[in-house]
Amino acid sequence: MGVSFWDDPYPTYKSFQERSAIFWDDALEVWVVTGRDAAGTVLRSTAMSSDWLNIESASREFPELEQMLGGWFLLKDPPEHTRLRRTMQSWFSRGRADSLTEEVQSVVSTHLDRVRGLPTVDLARDFAAPVASGILARVLDVPDEVTVTAAEHLASVARFLAQPYRREFAAQAADAVDQLNSLYRDLAPSLSRSSVLFPLLDDDSLPPDTYLHTAHLVSFAGQETTAGLIGTGLLHLLHRPELYKQVAEGQADLEAVVEELLRFDTPVPQVPRVALSDVVVDGRTIRAGDRVLVVLAAANRDWANSEDADVLDFAREQKNIAFGAGVHYCLGAPIARRGALTAIRDWTATFPETLLSPETVRWAVGTGNRGLESAVVQVA
């Protein structure tokens, strides 16, 4: 059986970059941006809008879905974006991520204890996903069950966002939004002051339902991404026993390990934009109204400027843009880094003899994120 795009998308991304750092795709009717500098230029350009969902979206027929996505600051431009992002920025600052260190440690330890002694463990389902949900639960300061349930519903939203023209996906996402609205509405009265969402409650200066919309956004943005980094990161190490051993024995610089894994297999492979006015990128003119897909995964491998882009090398100089760039730069980056570092360090140290069953590896398909659906290992 051949290797599918989902198993290894990098040969396809490489062929994109070999074509050009930026090109117009006739079939998809979108500019594809693959070069690192071109990607940075697009993401930092004020002529590029994140309000791309206005084009060809089947969400029109589903007001609850429209309203929810209409409230995500991820999909807004300044000045509205700036105002909403600012309400959470201080919470997400490096200081808060550092103070979460102990809580992240406790989440990881709990899930390591749960899998210890099991005959087989699914890296994705039994470890990466619950660790990501646990970390998110600490950010929102809610019980783990809330983020686990939210993740189930948000899978439909992710599928819709990956293919927003599909009516059936919009219908499923709208159902999910109903469920999520009840979940977060029920939580509001008991939300603690340490929740990232607390400042959004009862703030009359904010648009209505900002609390609900932002709860959805943070849950969406933090779950599959963090789980993806932990699961794929461990898998890539398992494929390279000498590197796995280095990490397990504490011989590797863990921050460099996490950055290299972010570069090597980027959890958010692409981000969309739409041009507000004509803009020239790498000599090509993007016209107002054109859609643009920034392929972070291609930009991170950066074959054009690197001879060993396909090698996992902790010592390389890092220039990855896995968390984006410009005004939408990921708010959760310090937390995601801390979570992945702790999970990868403690898993490898606890289970130095982990044995992968390669035939069980399944990659997520059509979710918009890069991550594992399952990968079974023996840890004993």
Which residues contact ligand HEM by CB under 6 A? 50, 73-74, 85, 136, 139, 217-218, 221-222, 225-226, 229, 267-268, 271, 322-324, 328, 330-332, 335-336
- Give me the least distance between CB of 176 and ligand HEM, in Å please: 19
Residue closer to ligand HEM by CB (options 248, 334) is 334
- Beta carbon of residue 40, minimum distance to ligand HEM (angstroms, whole number): 12
Q: How far is the CB of 254 from ligand HEM (least distance, A)?
A: 15
**Residue (115 or 331) nearer to ligand HEM, CB:** 331
127 Cβ neighbours under 8 A, 6+ residues apart: 111, 112, 115, 121, 230, 231, 234, 343, 347
- Torsion-angle region of 250 (φ positive above 0: left; ψ -120 to 50: alpha; else: beta): left
CA of 341: how far to CAs of 35, 204, 297, 335, 336, in Å?
Answer: 28, 39, 20, 10, 8
Q: Which residue is nearest to ligand HEM (CB)?
A: 332
Query: Between 261 and 375, whose beta carbon lies closer to ligand HEM?
Result: 261
Nearer to ligand HEM (CB atom), residue 107 or residue 379: 107
Closer of 160 and 379 to ligand HEM (Cβ): 160
CB nearer to ligand HEM: give 336 or 377: 336
User: Which of 32, 74 has the CB closer to ligand HEM?
Assistant: 74
DSSP state of 240: S
What is the token pair recorded at 276?
Answer: 């507000």
Which residue in 66, 36, 37 sits closest to 54, CA to CA? Answer: 66
CB of 88 to ligand HEM, least distance (A): 7
| CA distances for 327 relative to 48, 63, 246, angstroms | 11, 28, 37
Tell me how far, at minimum, the Cβ of 357 lies from ligand HEM, in Å: 25
Q: Which residues pair with 23 in a beta bridge?
A: 32
Smallest separation, CB 170 to ligand HEM (Å): 20
> Could you tell me the two tokens for 154?
């948000």
CA 136 to chain centre: 13
- The closest alpha carbon to 176, from 200, 199, 159, belongs to 159
The rounded Cα 333 to chain-centroid distance in angstroms is: 10
Q: How far is the CB of 336 from ligand HEM (least distance, A)?
A: 3
